[in-house]
C-alpha cells in the first residue's frame, strides 16, 4: 500500500507494538500510542491516513477519540478493534460512531491490511 501512514491506539502496548512491527515489515508506515492523549499528540504532529482504535480504553474511549481526531484531522479514516462484547453489540456501537470498519481481537495482521485497503479504496472512490 503506497505511502499509507497508520496510527495504532490500544492500552495494550505489546499488541500495538507487535502490530506496528508487522505492518512495517510489509512496508506500511506505522506508529502506535497507548492512550488517547498520546494519540492526539502524535496525530497533531504526523499526517496519518488511518487510525486503528481500541474501543475500550481507560479514560477516553476509542469512539470518543475518533470524534476528537475527526474534528482536528477531517481526512483521517478509522478502523475499530475490540476484545469486548459480541460482534452485534460492537457493530451497533461503531455504526453509531460512523464507522463500519471493525476487527475483533486478537487482530490478524492480514485482516487488518485488508480492512485498511478497503478504507483507503473507499476514501479514494476506487472501491
Indicate the average pLDDT of the chain: 87
For the ranges 17-21, 70-74, 81-85, 108-112, which has the lowest average pLDDT? 81-85
What's the pLDDT score for residue 33? 98
- Residue 125's CB: how many other CB atoms inside 10 A? 6
Which three cell numbers, joined as nine digits, stand for 109? 495482521
CATH code for the domain defined by 5-124:
3.40.50.2300
For position 49, what pLDDT does the model report?
95
Q: What is the pTM of this model?
A: 0.89
Could you say which DSSP state residue 103 is in? Answer: E
* DSSP class per residue in 19-76: HHHHHHHTT-EEEEESSHHHHHHHHHHS--SEEEEES--SSS-HHHHHHHHHHH-TT-
> Does position 85 have pLDDT exceeding 60, yes or no?
no
**How far apart, in Å, are the Cα atoms of 14 and each of 10, 63, 121?**
9, 21, 29
Q: What is the mean pLDDT of residues 50-67?
A: 92
pLDDT of residue 86: 54
Average pLDDT estimate for 30-39: 97
Stretch 43-72: mean pLDDT, rounded? 93
Amino acid at each position: 500500500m503506497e505511502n499509507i501512514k497508520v496510527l495504532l491506539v490500544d492500552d495494550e502496548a505489546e499488541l500495538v507494538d507487535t502490530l506496528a512491527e508487522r505492518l512495517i515489515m510489509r512496508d506500511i508506515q506505522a506508529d502506535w500510542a497507548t492512550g488517547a492523549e498520546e494519540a492526539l499528540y502524535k496525530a497533531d504532529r504526523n499526517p496519518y491516513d488511518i487510525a486503528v482504535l481500541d474501543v475500550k480504553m481507560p479514560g477516553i474511549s476509542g469512539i470518543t477519540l475518533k470524534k476528537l481526531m475527526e474534528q482536528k484531522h477531517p481526512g483521517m479514516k478509522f478502523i475499530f478493534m475490540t476484545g469486548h462484547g459480541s460482534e452485534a453489540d460492537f457493530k451497533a456501537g461503531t455504526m453509531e460512531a460512523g464507522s463500519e470498519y471493525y476487527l475483533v481481537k486478537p487482530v490478524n495482521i492480514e485482516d487488518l491490511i485488508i480492512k485498511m485497503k478497503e478504507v483507503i479504496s473507499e476514501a479514494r472512490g476506487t472501491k
